[in-house]
Amino acid sequence: MGVNLSRAHVQPVGISIRNLKVVYHTGQGDIPAVNGINLDIPAGQITGIIGESGSGKSTLAMALMNAVPHPGQIVSGSVVVDGIGDMLKIDKESRRQARGRHIGFVFQAAQNSLNPLRRIGHQVLDLGRSHNVKDLRALIRRAKDLLTRMGLNADRVLTSYQHELSGGMRQRVGIMFALVLDAQVVILDEPTTALDMISQAAVLQIVRQIHVERGLTTILITHDMGVVADLADNVVVMYGGELAEAGPTEQVLAHPAHPYTQGLIRAIPRITGELEQAVALPGSPPDAVTFFQPGCLFAARCPLRFAPCELTRPVYERLGPSRHVACFRVTQHD
């Protein structure tokens, strides 16, 4: 079943994901990191994908570009990007051109995307040449503008090597690389993890501004519910490689339907009030054994579990025009 997160039925789709399954080959068998996901990412909006470490959100992001690293493998599905086609079927050169030119990606560890032997400015030029950019001077001007807007000394950064920049500076450089070719789809994987609170706020502000200016389709991968609340139009909650809940951010945060979403929100520390109000989720994310057991993947950690949860995997169902959830308690007793 396809899932449309848009607030209106006519909202165009930026990325259409169907039956997407990604496994990691391990000594314990093939672990489904993304397990049969069907999802529509609305064009022109910011969609936050949230979950604990190991929930499959970063693997999903890599699969959108058909770039899942070994030992991962995409075993089924389609990822149709507006203006490109199915990323899992187009030829290798078309895929390479799409990455950067049409789809920008910000890695969680920015240094993984930078060449330690080349100055940042030279890497900008290399990126432009590899995508047949004719006006390289204009490309450098765009890079300088982006870096300046993120609070950096653009001239210094462009003449620096990776090791001469702090972790937070490298993260902002990674965002610049994702945006400098005027990509229409931007995927940010934990874009603020290396930043302090003030720098994080500045980076999120520039992401929001550029998103609006260019009418981007933006995907924000994060474990930080606060970042989603501040930035995202829609939120997708993942657990164990599957979709737990999705909908407009304000609705999901104000009225979370899935017990996992409720647990994530309860675990957020508050600035005021008693420390005990923040309650950590009990237990651990699913392991290799849990994936192959019948029933809901969250059942062992769920305070609301009952008999059906132990026996059958819940189906991801529509709650209303823009809300979806996979939970027997909600769909059977709502």
- Domains observed in the chain: 13-44+51-93+223-333 (3.40.50.300)
Cα distance between the two ends of the chain: 21
Band (278; pLDDT cuts 50, 70, 90): low
Other beta carbons less than 10 A from residue 5's beta carbon: 22
Residues 11/199, Cβ–Cβ less than 8 Å: no
CA–CA dist 321, 13 (Å, integer):
16
pLDDT at 274: 59
pLDDT at 30: 87
- Pairing, β 72-81 against β 13-26: antiparallel
Residue with tokens 């200016």: 213
Band (323; pLDDT cuts 50, 70, 90): very high
Band (287; pLDDT cuts 50, 70, 90): confident
139-to-19, 126, 307 alpha-carbon distances in Å: 38, 11, 59
For residue 334, which amino acid is it?
A: D
pLDDT at 334: 42
CA–CA dist 243, 315 (Å, integer):
10
Band (6; pLDDT cuts 50, 70, 90): very low
CA–CA dist 298, 239 (Å, integer):
8
